[in-house]
């Protein structure tokens, strides 16, 4: 989009999927299936010297969304849990939204009133910043919050186009294109109060369940939101594996024994003393190759994924020790501990 076009779009508020409203004058312009009414179209052209195209609502929405993301005061004040989750990821989200301008599949590529576009985490990593794994994980977090929607398409023309894009990317990266996963398709919703309030609620649920970047995965989402929801974020057939359940059982067993022995335990003690078997580890289990795994990495991810479930299951607390807890457990310094709730003693 040309810079002068962008300035025109910034003058509007997206009311819904079909209507925009002038920020200053309050005049509304409705978008229909193909074009504006002749009268409204002339009025728009006369005032702004700009053509209202079919894709305009998407671009107006982009400009509006970007404005919301740079308003730290708004996000932190009205949606504090959401802000906690995305504040260090805002540049990733803004970049993805910007990228959607040029990646819309076609003027007729629509899902529920939104134009959908394709994006490859590997392409984004090669063009902007950070790594493939970081981009892939952050996009999944945005989808979990509802800030981006992952969609499916079975259009052959679109599949052929994305195949060409994938081959071109593989050639630039000097790797076999068959080793690249096909790009995913997404839509961008309007960041209005209703959507951001829901995103704030989901963020609170994540934080209440010990959300950590290290432990975010499909397994984590299954435990927090259930299998059906997790399947909408990760389009594969993965479920919580037998190996993951086995590691969690070992973590639970150690936590309960250590609390029984000394009154509390810590994540560090779990990572140090729990023993696990690598032989049943699946290559995809933790998002990286089996050869790159080690005991501490596996236990750390599994601990982050499951500690909230373990707390609820055994009526435990997991928090940084205050003065009272330091005295109760004779701690030399403050640290985050796991211990039984008082009514559980």
List the domain boundaries for the chain: 3-54, 61-233, 242-344
Q: β-strands 184-187, 316-320: how paired?
A: unpaired
Sign of CA dihedral 312, 314, 315, 318: negative
Q: Give 265-320 pLDDT, tens digit per residue.
A: 999 999 999 988 766 665 545 544 444 567 788 888 889 888 888 998 899 999 99
- Cβ contact 219:240 at 8 Å: yes
Burial of 156: CB neighbours in 10 Å, binned 0-12, 13-18, 19+: exposed
Residues in the chain: 345
pLDDT score of 157: 64
pLDDT score of 284: 47
Sign of CA dihedral 186, 187, 188, 189: negative
pLDDT score of 339: 94
Chain centre to alpha carbon of residue 171? 29
pLDDT score of 3: 60
- Closest by alpha carbon to 92, among 72, 61, 75, 69? 69
pLDDT score of 33: 38
Q: Give 47-78 pLDDT, tens digit per residue.
A: 777 766 656 677 888 889 999 999 999 999 99
The reported pTM is: 0.74
pLDDT score of 267: 94
Q: How far apart are the first and last CA of the chain?
A: 64
CA geometry: angle 78, 219, 273, nearest 5 deg: 105
pLDDT score of 104: 76
pLDDT score of 156: 66
Beta bridge partners of 337: 319
Positions of the chain with pLDDT under 50: 32-35, 284, 287-291
pLDDT score of 266: 95
- Given the candidates 1.10.10, 3.40.50, 1.20.272, 1.20.120, the CATH classification of the domain at 242-344 is 1.10.10
Taking each helix axis as running N to C, give the angle between helix 56-69 and helix 90-100, from 0 to 180 degrees, rounded to the nearest 10. Answer: 170
């Amino acid at each position: 989009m040309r810079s002068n076009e962008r300035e025109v779009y910034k003058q509007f508020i997206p009311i819904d999927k079909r209507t925009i409203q002038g920020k200053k004058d309050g005049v509304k312009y409705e978008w229909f299936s193909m074009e504006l009414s002749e009268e409204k179209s002339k009025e728009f052209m006369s005032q702004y010297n700009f053509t209202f195209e079919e894709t305009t609502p998407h671009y107006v929405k982009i400009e509006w969304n970007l404005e919301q993301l740079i308003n730290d005061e708004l996000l932190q004040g009205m949606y504090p849990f959401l802000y906690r989750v995305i504040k260090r990821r805002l540049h990733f989200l803004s970049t993805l939204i910007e990228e959607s301008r040029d990646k819309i599949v076609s003027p007729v590529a629509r899902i529920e009133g939104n134009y959908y576009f394709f994006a490859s985490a590997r392409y984004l990593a090669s063009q902007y910043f950070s790594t493939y794994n970081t981009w892939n994980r952050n996009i999944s977090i945005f989808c979990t919050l509802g800030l981006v929607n992952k969609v499916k398409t079975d259009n052959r023309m679109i599949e052929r186009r994305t195949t060409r894009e994938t081959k071109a990317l593989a050639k630039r990266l000097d790797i076999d294109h068959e080793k690249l996963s096909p790009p995913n398709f997404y839509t961008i919703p309007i960041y209005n109060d209703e959507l951001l309030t829901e995103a704030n609620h989901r963020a609170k649920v994540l934080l209440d369940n010990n959300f950590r970047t290290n432990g975010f995965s499909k397994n984590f989402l299954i435990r927090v939101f259930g299998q059906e929801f997790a399947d909408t974020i990760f389009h594969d057939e993965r479920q919580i594996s037998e190996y993951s359940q086995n590691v969690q059982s070992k973590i639970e067993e150690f936590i309960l024994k250590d609390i029984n022995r000394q009154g509390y335990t810590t994540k560090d003690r779990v990572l140090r003393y729990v023993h696990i078997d690598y032989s049943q580890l699946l290559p995809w289990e933790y998002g990286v190759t089996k050869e790159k795994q080690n005991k501490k990495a596996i236990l750390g991810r599994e601990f982050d994924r499951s500690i909230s479930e373990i707390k609820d299951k055994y009526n435990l607390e997991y928090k940084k020790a205050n003065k009272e807890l330091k005295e109760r457990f004779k701690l030399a310094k403050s640290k985050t501990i796991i211990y039984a709730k008082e009514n559980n003693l």
